[in-house]
Amino acid sequence: MVKVVQVQLDSDMAKPDYTALGLMSGTSMDGIDVALLTTDGHRRVKPGAWMTVPYRDELRSRLARLVAAPDTADPHTLIEMSAAITDAHAEAVQGFLARHFLDARRIDLVGFHGHTISHRPDLGITRQIGDGARLAAALGID
């Protein structure tokens, strides 16, 4: 199933098609999914190549500990893990681009939500780690 999300773009950014990368790291903590798509930003979505990049064992272990007890994590740990998750996503994108012979300059936008460490819909709370600005800087895509 493809969910189409409409994004309002500035008129000076308007072009017929946008090339986007979507990133997903789910609660299974198995790794990062990277998917390429082309869209007009409204209704047309053309899926492209995709790949899964497994988390390194050490990062997966640290992430599992954080997810098991997110409310006990100190601010330093949250900042450190946010950077580690972001860097892992940057490496996944760089590997994807290399594997598919794509130049980062061809990518118009990257969808990145970080990683959910706590989801409490009963309380209306979701906590995620990840740093979009750090990812953009690492990739040179902004």
77 pLDDT above the threshold of 80: yes
Phi, psi of 132 (to 5 degrees): -60, -40
Residue 58's nearest CA partner among 80, 33, 26 is: 80
Task: Output the pTM of the full model.
Answer: 0.85
Domain regions of the chain by residue span: 11-139
The helix (H) or strand (E) run that includes residue 97 is: helix 75-99
Alpha-carbon gap, residue 33 to 83, rounded angstroms: 18
Report the CATH superfamily, name and number, of domain 11-139: ATPase, nucleotide binding domain (3.30.420.40)
* Greater pLDDT, 13 or 34: 34
